Amino acid sequence: MKTRKLGQSGFEVSALGLGCMSMSAAYGPPADKAEMIALIRKAVALGVTLFDTAESYGPFVNEELLGEALEPVRDRVVIATKFGFDIDPATGKRSGRLNSRPEHIRAVAEASLRRLRTDRIDLFYQHRVDPDVPIEEVAGALQELIHEGKVRHYGLSEASVQTIHRAHAVHPVTAVQSEYSLWYRGPEADLLPALEQQGIGFVPFSPLGAGFLTGAIGIDTKLDATDFRNTVPRFAPQARAANLALLELIQAFAARKAATPAQIALAWLLAREPWIVPIPGTTKLHRLKENLGALDLELSAAEVEELGAAAARIPVVGERLPEAALAMTGK
């Protein structure tokens, strides 16, 4: 397995991680627990070391799934989880409010450690920036947890460049997680240059456009009623029809390289910077193996530029998230 270091921290992980949210939440009914445990352990056997979860996935059940699956191999893997939402620990009910008060961060860390069956969180992200709590207080709380050994590294998710600078000044940020792919290029304008300047790693989520860039979702694909993509403007029928132009470009490029569209999309991300570590999610073994195949796909600098430039000429129709979710990003 090829590895990468997240920025200048020396924090080494597999070049592709595994996003685990879809195993328990958001993409329809939860997958079979025993099958997901087997999939996670197969990922470890294939060399994956970075596993991404959050207390809000479920809530709670995704962390419990990872805890059970990874307990026998804990010292071989890196677990990333997140805090930042107001969730009733007794009922698992989400209020919809953000909560990054220092005492809440500590309470979430303790609960996550129990669910993950571990004594340390390798990478602890603020899931969304809380406008009611200064980021300096958040970074200070995380610094305390790091000094106590309960957290090894911390990160921010969907944060603005200014917020990242302020947090980094208190205690070095190891990684920033935001959406990035040929389907959404927003980080290229300001975020990626800022991360490179400060030596911070980048962990793109939805690197396959929530499945669209794999070619598995067509105009007529029916999603489960509980699938969050039903609320995403980019997946509305008219938007899907318009966005097929981007998929067709990637499919044509894949044919040239004897690869799959997913492999091309991931290889393009991997070729952008050596400190980028995408975390595609899946519940299927054949998709896991397909995604890992991107690590053996070499794209030249000219090919990366060609694909990126061609994709940039195709306007993607629809917002990437529902309005309420977008309002929580870029703070």
* Weakly modelled stretches of the chain, pLDDT under 50: none
Contact (Cβ atoms closer than 8 angstroms) between residue 24 and residue 55: no
Largest distance between two CA atoms of the chain: 54
Other Cβ atoms closer than 10 A to 88: 10
Give the CB-side neighbour count of residue 236, counting CA atoms within 13 A: 13
Q: Is 274 exposed, middle or buried (0-12, 13-18, 19+ CB in 10 A)?
A: exposed
Structure tokens at 208: 């396959």
Contact (Cβ atoms closer than 8 angstroms) between residue 159 and residue 176: yes
pLDDT of residue 95: 86
Distances (CA, A) of 258 to 39, 131, 247, 295: 26, 47, 16, 14
Kindly state the DSSP code that residue 88 receives in the 8-state scheme.
-
Instruction: Please confirm, yes or no, whether 57 is among the known catalytic residues.
Output: yes
Helix (H, G, I), strand (E, B) or coil at 46: coil
278: cis peptide before it, omega within 30°?
A: no
pLDDT of residue 7: 83
pLDDT of residue 96: 83
Sign of the alpha-carbon torsion through 254, 184, 198, 113: negative
Residue 184 CA to residue 206 CA, distance in Å, equals: 9
Contact (Cβ atoms closer than 8 angstroms) between residue 268 and residue 207: no
pLDDT of residue 9: 86
pLDDT of residue 136: 98
Contact (Cβ atoms closer than 8 angstroms) between residue 99 and residue 130: yes
Contact (Cβ atoms closer than 8 angstroms) between residue 80 and residue 122: yes
Residue 71 CA to residue 67 CA, distance in Å, equals: 6
Query: Of 250, 232, 237, 236, which Cα lies nearest the Cα of 314?
Result: 250
Which is catalytic among the residues 57, 125, 154, 180?
Answer: 57
Residue 245 CA to residue 298 CA, distance in Å, equals: 24
Contact (Cβ atoms closer than 8 angstroms) between residue 191 and residue 161: yes
Beta-strand relationship, 85-87 and 94-98: antiparallel
Task: Specify the CATH superfamily of domain 3-326.
Answer: NADP-dependent oxidoreductase domain (3.20.20.100)
